[in-house]
Amino acid sequence: MVEISPLIKAITNRDSRAIARAITFVEDGDRQADLILTGLDPVLIEKATVIGITGPPGAGKSTLTDKLISQYRNQNERIGVIAIDPSSPISGGAILGDRIRMMKHALDNDVVMRSMATRGRLGGLCGAAGATARIMAGSGCSTIIIETVGVGQSEMDIIRLADITALVVAPGLGDDIQAMKAGLLEVADLLVVNKADCPGAEALAMDMETVAREKPPLADNLARVCLTVATEGRGIKELSEALARIDYLQRQGDEHVRRRQQARTMEVLDWSLEMLRPGLQDLINRHDVLETGDPRLLAAEIIKELMNH
């Protein structure tokens, strides 16, 4: 057991080791995390904006994130990055390319980075990511970027943690984009057509404009589609401005509160399921699963038992 209040103080003072330690408590489901989280400044947490950056693998999310970090740092903002990495269950870390790219930011005390693996963990990804974002905010980060591959359900859940979601697409990913149209395009506030230097970008941008027009307008003249060349840093300033504008508009109306409610709901659900899991497992173990009919029927029975406990 460590002393909590010095740790909270150290986080507030932007001590990177204290921040990393607190996030580890969160990831381990350690109860000390609760004490830390309730001790952080709620005003900082409310003010910070969580930006979700999603899209298919290879679209350029990491390159874009890297350039956005530089952009925010030029504006003298402190920034947090949570990279949700589905591919690396063992290291729980970013792939080598991302590591090299982010190296220059790793030396910057005002860039707080953390990667989280989707697989090979006990679950509770949403809850852990939400808590991590709050720790970053409590340490003075005004923007927190969550980078995630927009493929599976858990990644979709993660996106619901964000105040603003940018969907990154790129020409040449063809089928992926078609497959995405159902879910991700709907949740995206901003559509980023990256690799604008590659053939097919114009046509893709026109496609995206059509999609964007179907969205309820937040305001007149709000850019919903951004063209970028992440590798060259082109369009990054415009992208950050579009994000800032959406944030501003959402905070003017009810949308910001609605998003935060949605995020909290996801987190509570996620933690609840985590907490139920061991008890459920215990009850299931007491049944002969092969004998007790249909799995779904047994599940309903187990829930009944749990309620009567």
Residues that bind Mg ion (CB under 5 A): 61-62
Within 209-268, which residues bind ligand GDP (CB under 6 A)? 229-231
Q: Which of 148, 125, 138 is nearest to 22 (CA)?
A: 138
For ligand GDP, give the closer residue by CB, 81 or 131.
81
Smaller CB separation from ligand GDP, 61 or 224 = 61
Of all helices (H) and strands (E), which one includes residue 33?
Answer: helix 32-39
Residue 114: which H helix or E strand, with range? strand 111-117
Region from 3-11, 189-197, 214-222, 266-274 binding ligand GDP, contact rule CB under 6 A:
189-197
Q: What b/e string do you get for 64-102 counting C-beta neighbours within 10 Å, with b at 16 or more?
A: bbbbbbbbbeeeebbbbbbbbbbebeeebebeeebeebb
Closest approach of ligand GDP to the CB of residue 165, in Å: 15
The binding track of 11-50 with respect to ligand GDP, each residue x by CB under 6 A or -, is ----------------------------------------
Number of residues that bind ligand GDP (CB under 6 A): 16
Name the residue nearer to ligand GDP (CB basis): 11 or 162: 162
- The amino acid present at 306, given as its one-letter code, is L
Please answer whether residues 36 and 29 qualify as being in contact, where contact means their C-beta atoms are separated by less than 8 angstroms: no
The entry of Mg ion, ligand GDP, none near residue 195 (CB within 5 to 8 angstroms by kind) is ligand GDP
Q: Does 198 bind ligand GDP (CB under 6 A)?
A: yes
Q: How many CA atoms lie within 13 A of 14 on its CB side?
A: 12
Q: Give the span between the Cα atoms of 280 and 278, in whole angstroms.
A: 5
Residues interacting with ligand GDP, by CB under 6 A?
55, 57-63, 97, 194-195, 197-198, 229-231
